[in-house]
Amino acid sequence: MKNNIKYIAVLALGLFACEPEFDNPIDESGTYTSGSADFTTFVAVGNSLTAGFQDGTVFRSGQQNSFPNIMAEKFAFAGGGAFTQPSYDDDVNDSGGFLLAGNPLPGFDTRLVIDASQGRPENLNIAPTAEVSSLQQTAYNNMGVPGAKSFHLGFPGYGDINNLAIGAANPYYVRHATTSNATVIGDATSLNPTFFALWIGNNDILSYATSGGVGVDRTGNPNVLSYGFNDITDPGVFAFTYQALVDALTANGAKGVVATLPDVTSIPYFTTVPYNPIPMDAQTAALANGGYAGYNGGLQFAAANGLITASEAAQRTISFSAGQNAVVIVDEDLTNLTGSGIPSYRQATIDDLMVLPSLGFIGTFAEPGNPASINGVGVPLADNWVLTATEIQLVRNARTAYNNTIVAIAAANDLAVADMAVKLEELVSGLRTADGQIYTNNYFDGSSDAISTAVFSLDGVHPNSRGYAIVADEFIRVVNEKYGANVPRVTAGYYPGVTVVPTN
């Protein structure tokens, strides 16, 4: 059986000039004010969302549409000063990706684009030119560091190039850390901000989620040095860290805006691939069922002997039929029956989420030419391909705790709060902006309209430039409301969406 899951069917015509036109909302009469805020020195602290990361990387033109840079452009109408970002002048191909000592850095590929000739997203087929070892040693107004978790912002050596080999440094921060022992928050506060934006904490749960739950929930463990890359940060650690970050940013009396964390399980990375993507006719279903006859019989034996309940036996029973079928997965949270020779298999349900990379994996052969080795059918999907309902709950529990901390600390420090948890959730059903356009988180349904109104980039996790414009507008809205400011709002339609190229 061949893989019948398809990426987007792209029609090249009409996708290269899909920006709507709107009247310029900027009032040039000089009526804009900062209210009780002071935008003279605006500093933004965070992770990839702050850095302008999109389509799987940071690239030169995309970075210009980071939400803090968009905010700074609007703050300039109300007394805002210059706003600097880490230099990507060496990204001469506008491709993103990194070199280290002249060689491509594994895991840091060029940006994703839609190749209209193939109808699918691909990494841009251009060599990266941005060199990690070209140290800038500069504190910038945009201190967003892709990949950073909350506690990383205070780690000395997180920008030390010598720590890259042991995984204790971040190449994005290595490029601009002021010294090898600097910290992100230290560099940020060295600019003496008069106003700040803080959006941090997504990576404290996101890496666990995007790995399909291949990690550990560290709730109750305060020792961050024992954490793996995909682990969920202990809420107590997050609270302690977040308080320290806010204390540092407000030490000189600066006002600011913080943001809550959205539900990471509602982003396209988890909502694109259905739980039941396997089409079968009756004959194929019968053959597949035959392959699991022994397994199903073992479950009945286990239930009859009290090893599992009849309900769990039914939950674990594998059954295919004509039509669309759920994939078979490994679920480590099932009762362990390996001592009886029964693996922890079941079929996915609507409560499970397939990760985006599974789109190109489900339905392929684990053994070339062997029809019994279809991934997701004869060969169950391993843990990294699916986020189970149990794992989803762990993510949501941590997110709730983190957001409670963010809101409480913001209230105690009289800061504005951008509730991005609510704002981005609106994209699930369709978000109508002030320009009258409805934007969504879905561009994988094959239509050109879906691509032109999508606000997530092709990595399925981060906004595209248009999405960052929506984020910036929400930040400005709450800043205006909290501080009595009158900063011009952002029109999302002025910013580019998904990138389509004729051929790659």
| pLDDT-derived band at 450, boundaries 50, 70, 90 | low
CA dihedral 161, 145, 96, 89 (to 10 degrees): -80
Name residue 132's beta-bridge partners: none
Mean pLDDT, residues 170-191: 98
What's this model's pTM, rounded to 2 decimal places?
0.90
What is the set of domains in the chain, with CATH numbers? 42-271+390-501 (3.40.50.1110), 278-347+353-387 (no CATH)
On the question of pLDDT at 448 being above 70, the answer is: no
Spatial neighbors of 413 by CB under 8 A, at least 6 apart, are 246, 250
The predicted-structure confidence for 233-268, as pLDDT tens digits, reads as follows 999 999 999 999 999 999 999 999 999 999 988 888
- Nearest Cα residue to 389 out of 443, 349, 423: 349
Question: What are the phi and psi torsion angles at 376 (to 5°)?
Answer: 95, -10
pLDDT at 501: 77
The predicted-structure confidence for 395-420, as pLDDT tens digits, reads as follows 999 999 999 999 999 999 999 999 99
Question: What are the phi and psi torsion angles at 396 (to 5°)?
Answer: -70, -35
Neighbouring C-beta atoms of residue 36, cutoff 10 Å: 10
On the question of pLDDT at 438 being above 80, the answer is: no
| pLDDT-derived band at 435, boundaries 50, 70, 90 | low
The predicted-structure confidence for 327-349, as pLDDT tens digits, reads as follows 999 999 999 999 999 999 999 99
Distance CA 460, CA 443 (A): 10
pLDDT at 120: 76
Contact 5, 363 (CB under 8 A): yes
- Cβ burial of 287 (10 Å; 0-12, 13-18, 19+) is middle
Q: Which two tokens stand for residue 437?
A: 């356009």
| pLDDT-derived band at 7, boundaries 50, 70, 90 | very low
Query: What average pLDDT is seen over the chain?
Result: 90
Element (H, E) at 472: helix 465-483
- Nearest Cα residue to 385 out of 413, 357, 351, 424: 357
| pLDDT-derived band at 93, boundaries 50, 70, 90 | very high
On the question of pLDDT at 20 being above 60, the answer is: no
Q: Which two tokens stand for residue 137?
A: 């040693």
Helix axes 465-483, 420-429, angle to 10 degrees: 130
- Cβ burial of 11 (10 Å; 0-12, 13-18, 19+) is middle
pLDDT at 496: 87
